Amino acid sequence: MTAAAAEDLGFVPLRVAAVDPLTSDSAAITFELPEELQARFAFRPGQHLTLRRVADGQDLRRTYSVCTSAAGGPLRVAVKRLEGGVFSTWVLDALRPGDVLEVLPPAGRFGPAVDPARARKYGLVAAGSGITPVLSIAWTVLDVEPESEVVLVYGNRTSGDVMFLEELADLKDRFPDRLQVLHVLSREEQESELLSGRIDRARLQRLLDTLLTDVDEWYLCGPFGMVTDGRQTLLDAGVDPSAVHVELFHADAPPPRVRTVPAGSADTAVVTVVLHGRTTAVSVPKDGGSVLDAVLAVRADAPFACKGGVCGTCRARCVSGSVEMDVNYALEPDELAAGVVLTCQSHPTSDEVRLEFL
């Protein structure tokens, strides 16, 4: 794949300025951002980048959250090694300063719209590499909202696994009255019993009763179980669902669903997509693969990364007709209400569908 073709897909070649180890199995990757790309790569707290690498004819795309302050921080992500993981292993073992990676501009809606006039208390709950977007949120809020407070609950196995230990300590030094960091360690005893163990429902409930009181907005990021249990604990405690925001990095694929075509309905739908200003129509079997896969067969420029319903890169607005999604871990309720769908999870349920990629 040539650089020009990659740019046709929306990717921009960015040079790696630095690779800084954070722990024995994670590193921060900082990109050089020439003046002319700064507006295109301006990010909001909690947003992510999709990185792409073509290796052995395989188009590998993975999403990584920006982990610096959106108020002037460098463009930096952090990658944690997943044992046997194709992309993370390559990044940690082979990526060097000076290398060039293909990168999609920032995307995603996990994170507040910061406003200097706001005075809020943010409750942030992260585990492992889930700290990356949460660090950006904490840092940006503290930089931009002088009256707001942040309480961060950060779970790891041991203190040696804690990513951004230094950055968190520096932030604490800069904002001693407005930032509280609670390290919860599952395999290391701490003085406080409350902070020794996993961030499960019982522990979060106890934290809610003691240290996490009067929170206005919640942001949770980590493994599937922690995030879904955490969200449910907050809802059970009476927190308004619109104040609870979650981000997942991975979800196991659901068992394949058997789809049937209702009697009297056509077997295939005509799906018309508007993408990068061009309109294309494809036939999509109603009982077959996803709309995204059908579109990719004729439009290689259709955006995607995880194909698992978590990253949101493949978002499109359904402007007519209807589709059904297998799973959705990426879209917020207001996006669903506005007709936004994940094309990697969508299957047509009407004979004609029109989708506009976002």
Ligand X SMILES: Cc1cc2nc3c(=O)[nH]c(=O)nc-3n(C[C@H](O)[C@H](O)[C@H](O)COP(=O)(O)OP(=O)(O)OC[C@H]3O[C@@H](n4cnc5c(N)ncnc54)[C@H](O)[C@@H]3O)c2cc1C
- Which residues of this chain interact with ligand FES, rule CB under 6 A? 304-307, 309-314, 330, 342, 344
Could you tell me which residues are beta bridge partners of residue 131? none
Residue type, 37: L
Residues 6+ apart with CB under 8 A from 258: 287
Select from ligand FES, ligand X, none the partner in contact with residue 132, using the beta carbon and a kind-dependent cut-off of 5 to 8 Å.
ligand X
Q: CB–CB of 163/22 below 8 Å?
A: yes
Which lies closer to ligand FES via its Cβ, residue 312 or residue 348? Answer: 312
HSE on the CB side for 180, CA within 13 Å?
Answer: 15
Looking at residue 242, the DSSP 8-state letter turns out to be G
CB neighbourhood size of 264 (10 A): 5
Partner whose binding site includes residue 86, from ligand FES, ligand X, none (CB under 5 to 8 Å by kind): ligand X
Q: Which residue is nearest to ligand FES (CB)?
A: 344
Q: Does 43 contact ligand X by CB under 6 A? A: no
Listing DSSP states for 166-198 in one string gives: HHHHHHHHH-TTTEEEEEEESSS--SSGGGBS-
As measured in angstroms, the least distance from the Cβ of 183 to ligand X is: 19
Nearer to ligand X by Cβ, of 23 and 63: the residue is 63
Q: What angle do CA 329, 247, 319 make, to 5 degrees?
A: 45
Q: Minimum distance between the CB of residue 280 and ligand X, rounded to whole angstroms? A: 26
Instruction: Give exposure, 283-296, as e/b (b: 16+ Cβ within 10 Å).
Output: ebebeeebbbbbbb
Q: Which of 114, 127, 310, 340 binds ligand X (CB under 6 A)?
A: 310
> Of 194 and 251, which CB lies nearer to ligand X in the complex structure?
251
Question: Rule CB under 6 A: is residue 78 a binding residue for ligand X?
Answer: yes
Amino acid occupying residue 35: E
Footprint of ligand X on 102-131 (CB under 6 A): 129
**Which residue from 174, 250, 257, 259 is in contact with ligand X, where contact means CB under 6 A?**
250
- When binding is defined by CB under 6 A, the residue of 28, 41, 48, 68 that contacts ligand X is 48
Which position's Cβ is nearest ligand X? 85
Using rule CB under 6 A, residue 92 touches ligand X: no
- In the bound state with ligand FES, the residue whose beta carbon lies nearer, of 185 and 305, is 305
Beta bridge partners of 13: 102
CB contact at 8 A, 121 and 219: no
Mask 8-27, x = binds ligand X (CB under 6 A)?
A: --------------------
55 touching ligand X, by CB under 6 A: no
Q: Rg of the chain over CA atoms, in angstroms?
A: 21
| Residue 306 neighbours by CB under 8 Å, 6+ apart | 61, 62, 63, 250, 313, 344
- Partner touching 22 among ligand X, ligand FES, none, CB below 5 to 8 Å by kind: none
Quick one: what does residue 309 bind among ligand X, ligand FES, none, with the CB cut-off 5 to 8 Å set by partner type? ligand FES
Q: Does residue 65 interact with ligand X by CB under 6 A?
A: yes
- DSSP for residue 213: T
CB of 344 to ligand FES, least distance (A): 3
Nearer to ligand X, 89 or 205 (CB): 89
Residue 233 as a binder of ligand X (CB under 6 A): the answer is: no
The tokens for 321 are 């007709």
Nearest alpha carbon to residue 180 among 211, 151, 155: 151
Q: Helix 165-174 vs helix 131-144: angle between axes, to the nearest 10 degrees?
A: 20
63 binding ligand X? (CB under 6 A): yes
Of 328, 316, 289, 314, give the one whose Cα is nearest residue 61.
314
Binding status of residue 61 toward ligand X by CB under 6 A? no
Instruction: Kindly state the DSSP code that residue 244 receives in the 8-state scheme.
Output: E
Beta carbon of residue 247, minimum distance to ligand FES (angstroms, whole number): 12
- Minimum distance from CB of 333 to ligand FES (Å)? 16
Residue with tokens 């919860």: 184
- Does position 31 interact with ligand X (CB under 6 A)? The reply is no
List contacts with ligand X (CB under 6 A): 48, 62-65, 77-80, 82, 84-89, 129, 132, 247, 249-250, 306, 310-311
